Structure 1
Amino acid sequence: MEASGELPQFRLVLLHDSEGKVIALLPATSLLNLVSIWKETGRQLQPVRGDDALRYFSQEALKYPEGQAKLLSLKLLVAPECANFEQMELIEPHSGLSFSIVAEQLREGTVCNFSRTAEEIVAQQPAGDDVAQITRAVERFTALRVKQRLEDTLGLPSLSATMQKIIELRSDPEAGVSDLVPVVRLDPSLSAQVMSWAASPYYAAPGDVSSIDDAVIRVLGFDLVINMALGTAMGEMLKVPEDGPRGATPYWLQAVYNASFAEQLCRAMPETEDSPRPGLVYLASLLHNFGYLVLAHLFPPHFIMLSRYFEANPHFAFDTVEKQVLGVTREQIGSWLLDSWSLPKTVTTAIRHQNEADYQGEHSQYVKILFMANRLLRQQGLSDGPLEEVPEEMYAELGLKEPDVAKMLRRLMRNDDDIKELTALLGD
């Protein structure tokens, strides 16, 4: 049965538990609220893994009416919005399956209210700035009670003296390698890391790397050493969770790809007096997902549920899902914490607003570079999140041409093996 593009679209979601499979149907642009399903059914139904959904909905039989009818003979949970239409198109995001049905085919389904629109989720968010929203989430979802200083409440380890000095250097526009090399030399762990980075095939240093001076000055440079030192320090402080969304791109692989690509975009932009600094763009992109680690550290039981929500709603913006489940986003809590550690404002602003294509505030070019790099990498399966197009006007705003950017991305992807080796040195 051919689907019509003019029909209202409803999404198929495959859920399961020990009792068997269930199909949920809801508007294609709405979020599936698992908690509502659990309350309505009395069952702890969970979304299947993305690759399992792909295999299930790619069955040859589902291309034909008989197979589609058999699919709809499973237990159905139907959102009330389905009753508004005589005919509709059913779609499944993982497999691309699409077919049309008439309302009569859903007559055996159980109607229950489990869908939320993005507008409804945003409307329910309490008023207040980021700190107020983070505080409410901490008090609501943990046993912690907020102290006078919120950062004390989180129970995070303090930054080492070396990292505090490196942050000072990162924030000082006059600092250079002569200031950095003595700091690296005094920290054995950082020294070993710098030597291993310099020897990585990704940087293809000619000849042997014989000393810290050689590694910093000849191979890596001031910006890269500082940025990677900060990135690994944050990663060591907050471990990558083992119970994240199944099938997700590894944390550090996303970080390195985003940082490498964003820096290349920055360097390709026309130079002006207020051009973004490539080193700061690299750092912002390397830490763009840092709030993900903070959420996992701070809300362990709810983070597991958040992961299931991501799996059930692959088309939905992560920040909207996080607002629904926790009332705070990774961008809010990540940028706030990095700001409290005195990272440059350009970095924390870019991280906070990276999902806002129309952001026009301070440091907007940094924001748009992060937005563009991440969206284009998502299309290649190298970063997580729903697929979204980069607005055409954003290329013009950054002084870039779409074919040139596509060529840069292809060139970067040809270095995949070297990037993965560098990623292993960082954490994953």
Structure 2
Amino acid sequence: MSQPKLRIVMLNDSQGRALVILPGDELLNLVSVWKHTQRQLQPLSAHDSETFFSQDALSAEKGIRQLLTLPVLIDTSCKLDGDFDVLEPNSNRVLRLNSVLLGDNVQYCKVGISSAAIDAKQPEGNDVAVITRAVEKFTTLRIKQRLEDTLGLPTLPPTAQKIIELRADPNAGVDDLVPIVQMDPSLSAQVMSWAASPYYAAPGGIDSIHDAIVRVLGYDLVVNLALGVAMGRTLQLPTDTPRGSTPYWLQALFCATLSEKLAKLAPADRRPRPGLVYLTGLLHNFGYLTLAHIFPPHFSLVSRYIEANPHLHHEYIEKQILNVTREQIGAWLMETWNLPEEVIKGIRYQNSTSYDGDFHQYAQIIDLSLRVMRINGMGDGPAGAIPSELYEQLGLDAAKVQETFQLIHEKTDQLDEMTNFLEAG
């Protein structure tokens, strides 16, 4: 059975609730709703929306009639005559409505925007030019010097700078890493805590940083973990996030862990370096923190739009609100901080299945990991079907990928506990 072409969204404010009906594949433009109704209607959280639309009462005509006593805003492109179906994405509930039942509570206005229309109004130029225009348009900042200086982003802490230098040195090893970790008390505590965690189930006690690295975690993991922790300290986690979303560090850690394991499953001739894949996964959403830092008022608006448009990838929502995406600004920041090119490309093109440029395997494996997470109820955005060509390009089997996800998911509580160290860093 094909999905209905229309979707329904419930909004509310201090005056009560209202409904919006619009094309199912379009973005609900909350600003248009506010202008037309002169009300600051906000979307229900995903949980509240699912709870409401899962009611058995909505299976009966009496329940539908009661629902349609609410004010209803309908996009002008919708031609409603007789019976028609609408989808509520959070509950996946399809309701059969009738135009006659809409009564006198209906208002028509343009509230939907297509993905093509969003793309058509995006500024042209490379990522730096796009970011610069967005900063000038949506903040009081005017770019006079280098972009990174104007934004007031914190510089990388000494620990992160030393680790980046270490990663660039092919001859570096555990003996070079241990002193760097030991100089940072917080990082030392985190490395020891991770090594002792049930997730790694190390036999015997962990006596030292050297022991934790050599016997349990491994050089690559500690380098990437230390870098992620050090970078995470530079920006605060936002508070006004989409309600019900996967916590930032849990998503980052899960993506990193899954991506690394999938990299190890890939055929040798197509296998990206697992350590760099882990780092890419850990930092894949760092642009999200950067958007919250640069555009705080607009970031709240992005969160409300994500709640109102669970069927759309966040890329289109950020383009509509800010004219720049977290992937663009995240990759630019990684380049500014001199991270490996593999990480930069992996972050920038993680949503571009068709990208076939340098280090495309890194972008593809992050893309696949995030898609698998979404179809299993983790992360934000629509849980659409995973293109078969994505598996083929990486040389991976879909059943094996799902099995790998499941093995990690069984340890989610332990991963979640480990995120406490990242959040505390």
TM range (shorter): over 0.9
Matched, 1:422 2:418: yes
Can you list the C-alpha shifts for 1:377-417, whole angstroms capped at 9, x where unaligned?
Answer: 11222222211221112212211111111111111111122
What displacement does 1:86 show?
Answer: 5.4
C-alpha separation between the residues in 1 aligned to 2:389 and 2:81? 37
Aligned residues: 423
Match 1:38 to one of 34, 41, 61 = 34
Residue 162 of structure 1: aligned partner: 159
Q: Secondary structure at the match of 1:163?
A: helix
Matched, 1:49 2:45: yes
What displacement does 1:373 show?
Answer: 0.5
C-alpha separation between the residues in 2 aligned to 1:244 and 1:49? 11
Alpha-carbon contact 2:50-2:90 (below 8 Å) kept: yes
C-alpha separation between the residues in 2 aligned to 1:221 and 1:21? 54
C-alpha separation between the residues in 2 aligned to 1:295 and 1:130? 14
> In structure 2, do the counterparts of structure 1 residues 174 and 386 end up closer, same or farther at CA, with 3 Å as the change threshold?
farther
C-alpha separation between the residues in 2 aligned to 1:366 and 1:146? 32
C-alpha separation between the residues in 1 aligned to 2:334 and 2:409? 29
Matched, 1:245 2:242: yes
C-alpha separation between the residues in 1 aligned to 2:170 and 2:65? 65
Q: Secondary structure at the match of 2:254?
A: helix
Can you list the C-alpha shifts for 1:226-247, whole angstroms capped at 9, x where unaligned?
Answer: 1111111222111111111111
Alpha-carbon contact 2:346-2:362 (below 8 Å) kept: yes
What displacement does 1:249 show?
Answer: 0.7
C-alpha separation between the residues in 1 aligned to 2:140 and 2:288? 20
Q: Indicate the larger mover: 275-284 or 140-149.
A: 140-149
Equivalences for residues 238-277 of structure 1 within 5 A: 238-272=235-269, 275-277=271-273
Q: Secondary structure at the match of 2:77?
A: helix
C-alpha separation between the residues in 2 aligned to 1:327 and 1:5? 33
C-alpha separation between the residues in 1 aligned to 2:85 and 2:108? 18
Identity percentage of aligned residues: 52
Alpha-carbon contact 2:21-2:75 (below 8 Å) kept: yes
Residue 64 of structure 1: aligned partner: 60
C-alpha separation between the residues in 2 aligned to 1:317 and 1:192? 37
Return the letter of the residue paired with 2:49: A
C-alpha separation between the residues in 1 aligned to 2:195 and 2:142? 44
Q: Indicate the larger mover: 35-44 or 170-179.
A: 170-179
Q: Indicate the larger mover: 97-106 or 242-251.
A: 97-106
What displacement does 1:84 show?
Answer: 6.5
Residue 299 of structure 2: aligned partner: 303
Residue 150 of structure 1: aligned partner: 147
Q: Indicate the larger mover: 35-44 or 81-90.
A: 81-90
> In structure 2, do the counterparts of structure 1 residues 84 and 61 end up closer, same or farther at CA, with 3 Å as the change threshold?
closer
Q: Secondary structure at the match of 1:184?
A: helix
Matched, 1:95 2:82: no
C-alpha separation between the residues in 1 aligned to 2:25 and 2:103? 23
Q: Secondary structure at the match of 1:237?
A: coil
Equivalences for residues 83-232 of structure 1 within 5 A: 83=79, 87-106=83-102, 108=104, 109-232=106-229
C-alpha separation between the residues in 2 aligned to 1:80 and 1:95? 25
Match 1:26 to one of 13, 17, 22 = 22
C-alpha separation between the residues in 2 aligned to 1:115 and 1:321? 12
Return the letter of the residue paired with 1:120: A
Match 1:290 to one of 272, 286, 290 = 286
Q: Secondary structure at the match of 2:86?
A: strand
What displacement does 1:192 show?
Answer: 2.4
After TM superposition, what 4+ stretches of structure 1 lie above 4 angstroms from structure 2?
84-87
What displacement does 1:87 show?
Answer: 4.6
Q: Indicate the larger mover: 104-113 or 227-236.
A: 104-113
What displacement does 1:45 show?
Answer: 0.7
Normalized against structure 2, the TM-score is what?
A: 0.96
Q: Secondary structure at the match of 1:88?
A: strand
Alpha-carbon contact 2:159-2:230 (below 8 Å) kept: no
Can you list the C-alpha shifts for 1:85-143, whole angstroms capped at 9, x where unaligned?
Answer: 65532110111221333444445310011110000001010111111111111111112
Q: Secondary structure at the match of 2:368?
A: helix
Equivalences for residues 393-412 of structure 1 within 5 A: 393-412=389-408
C-alpha separation between the residues in 1 aligned to 2:390 and 2:33? 40
Q: Secondary structure at the match of 2:245?
A: coil
Can you list the C-alpha shifts for 1:318-368, whole angstroms capped at 9, x where unaligned?
Answer: 010000011110000011001100000100100111011121111111111
C-alpha separation between the residues in 2 aligned to 1:391 and 1:250? 26
Matched, 1:328 2:324: yes
Alpha-carbon contact 1:253-1:382 (below 8 Å) kept: no
Long gaps (5+) in structure 1: none
C-alpha separation between the residues in 2 aligned to 1:386 and 1:234? 29
C-alpha separation between the residues in 2 aligned to 1:69 and 1:80? 22
C-alpha separation between the residues in 2 aligned to 1:186 and 1:55? 50
Q: Give me the CA root mean square deviation.
A: 1.6
Return the letter of the residue paired with 2:201: A
C-alpha separation between the residues in 2 aligned to 1:393 and 1:126? 30
Residue 70 of structure 2: aligned partner: 74
Normalized against structure 1, the TM-score is what?
A: 0.95
Matched, 1:387 2:388: no
C-alpha separation between the residues in 2 aligned to 1:52 and 1:161? 45
Alpha-carbon contact 2:8-2:21 (below 8 Å) kept: yes
What displacement does 1:159 show?
Answer: 1.3
Alpha-carbon contact 1:171-1:343 (below 8 Å) kept: no
Alpha-carbon contact 2:64-2:97 (below 8 Å) kept: no
Q: Indicate the larger mover: 92-101 or 187-196.
A: 187-196
C-alpha separation between the residues in 2 aligned to 1:266 and 1:172? 23
Q: Secondary structure at the match of 1:427?
A: helix
Match 1:345 to one of 330, 341, 346 = 341
Q: Secondary structure at the match of 2:136?
A: helix
Alpha-carbon contact 1:57-1:92 (below 8 Å) kept: yes
